[in-house]
Structure 1
Amino acid sequence: MNAPLQISVGQFPAIEDKAANLAAVTQLAERAAAAGSRVLILPEMAMYHRVTASVSEGVQAAEDLTGPFVTEVRRLSRLHGLFISVGMSKRIAGERAVDRALNTLLLVDGGEIVAEYHKIHLYDAFAVRESDSIHPGDDLPPVLEIDGVRVGFAICYDLRFPELFRLLTDQGAEVLAISAAWARGVVKEDHWLTLLRARAIENTAYVFASDEVSVKSVGRSAIFDPLGLTLADAGEQELALVTASVDRARIAAVRKTVPSLANRRVAVEARVHPVPDSE
């Protein structure tokens, strides 16, 4: 019988200093490998996160898949035998390259890029307009098999759209992995933890969530089991790693006791609606 899939969630303060961010990623990869984890989930925009920079400076900081950030993540993945999920700002080739980038989740295994996801739900809420600097993706996030376990991925604001996670579950996801830079604000920390627990309960799946921690983001990277029980919470530690194993027998037992997936009568359609052109 295969050993349980062990997943680590990393948390750190992503800033405008790419070298500092990469140093944190390196430390967390080393710690995850030392803990015996197979997978490392890291925050949204871990490569470069605007704190005081202008929108244009943030776009200029974007890199492509041959840039130094991706090159180093691939090296760490290969060196430690880790599947790494990490957020970055990806340069867009063509006419939009000047004013917007892609909020991208990079998925690397064995040093190879196995998938990438461009955030489809842009954070145009709470007086913030992510769409001013980010071009939305058009494709649903992937569900990948890692050592026999199906893992579905998402980014930050996606968390507020339960239909997306139901689609991932429909594709066989047993684990929901979220990378975020969840903004601080009144009740925002409560929203983060409540929604994470809800996604676990309603999909009877594990949730592993990595959040950036800073003056802008709440931290509280967390792990929930398929019944919504808290397995780990990183609090507001500036460089933290929390770890848990995926017990597939636990998933089966919860889904037998609470067969909400089998009992449902409303299907969710797998389609991304285009964003209206406001230009």
Structure 2
Amino acid sequence: MRVALAQVITGRDLADNLQLVEKYARLAKEGGAELVVFPEAMMRAFGNSLLDIAEPLDGPWAGRVREIARELQLIVVAGMFTPGADSDSRTRRVRNTLLVTGPGVEASYDKIHLFDAFGFAESDTVEAGTDPVTFDAGGLTFGLATCYDIRFPALFTANAQRGAVVNIVAASWASGPGKADQWQLLARARAVDTTTFVLACGQGDPATQGVEAKGAAPTGVGYSAVVSPFGQVLASLEGEPGLIFADLDASVVQEARQKLPVLANKRDF
């Protein structure tokens, strides 16, 4: 199965961000991809208000993503914001949601581990999800994760135990000393931990386009990558926006799990 990762830089305007989805989805399709992954916060970049744009999975923003996926016959994974369960209370928050839509596929994942670190408090505005999510496409099972989730191996293992041979991580990774190195290290570690392919798709670095970051908001560092179950980087980008492709073969996962049976050897304490 051929997949693509679209490393883009989103802004405040929802329509502009949808145009990015359409542009890169078309490029992915032209490159032969059956599935394209977009970053976290594809609906609106962090550093902007979220409550006023959060909408249900059957709302207009997600509806347009579905139209693009349907027109191109392409599975699209993209980060958006949906209303939280407490959306009618005084402590209103949203959910940080990955939408998955395309031929024969409809799924969503709410980010479980919220980014309350490095001076940013995602939990102030975002309500945590609770359950791992997997979906099937092209004869493969995919697990879902978002950004800070990559620091928690148990989620990736849970996805693998549910049958995932590929883990998708959509991110808007916060910049700072050593942060790009950590992102790259963690993507490779999670692949080896679980003997899965890891599709680590992050927002590009705004600094490469002459844009200054807004405070502590995580606006992306780039370095999206496709990593093999043996931890090899099969395709990658640096900070600038771009599109990469990779061909995923389930037999590579089978080989890895025969040679490195970490899931079978795992012990719970």
TM-score by length of 1: 0.87
Give the corresponding residue for 2:38: 42
Ranges in structure 2 where 5+ consecutive residues have no aligned partner: 207-212, 214-218
Q: Give the whole-Å Cα distance in 2 for the aligned partners of 1:202 and 1:122.
A: 21
User: What is the Cα deviation at residue 99 of structure 1?
Assistant: 2.9
Distance 1:50 1:202, change over 3 A: closer
User: What is the Cα deviation at residue 263 of structure 1?
Assistant: 2.1
1:209 maps onto 2:200 in alignment: yes
Secondary structure of 2:245's aligned partner? strand
Which of 2, 15, 19 is equivalent to 2:15? 19
User: What is the Cα deviation at residue 6 of structure 1?
Assistant: 1.0
Q: Give the whole-Å Cα distance in 1 for the aligned partners of 2:198 and 2:253.
A: 12
Secondary structure of 1:58's aligned partner? coil
Secondary structure of 1:227's aligned partner? coil
- Residues 150, 173 of structure 1: 8 Å contact kept: yes
**CA deviation digits over 1:162-194, x for unaligned, max 9?**
011111111111000011101101111111000
- Residues 74, 113 of structure 1: 8 Å contact kept: no
Give the corresponding residue for 2:172: 181
Code of the residue aligned with 1:237 in structure 2: it is E
Once the two structures are superposed, the pairs formed by residues 92-241 of structure 1 within 5 Å of their partners are: 92=84, 94-96=87-89, 99-110=92-103, 114-138=106-130, 140-213=131-204, 214=206, 215=213, 216-238=219-241, 240-241=242-243
Give the aligned length: 256
Which of 250, 263, 267 is equivalent to 1:265? 267
Which of 12, 28, 34 is equivalent to 1:32? 28
Secondary structure of 2:159's aligned partner? helix
Q: Give the whole-Å Cα distance in 1 for the aligned partners of 2:61 and 2:28.
A: 19
The worse-fitting range, judged by mean Cα deviation, of 174-183 and 255-264 is: 255-264
TM-score by length of 2: 0.90
Distance 1:208 1:247, change over 3 A: same
- Residues 201, 227 of structure 1: 8 Å contact kept: yes
The worse-fitting range, judged by mean Cα deviation, of 250-259 and 90-99 is: 90-99
Secondary structure of 1:95's aligned partner? coil
Secondary structure of 1:37's aligned partner? coil
Ranges in structure 1 where 5+ consecutive residues have no aligned partner: 268-279
Code of the residue aligned with 1:101 in structure 2: it is V
CA RMSD of aligned residues (A): 1.7
- Residues 9, 243 of structure 1: 8 Å contact kept: yes
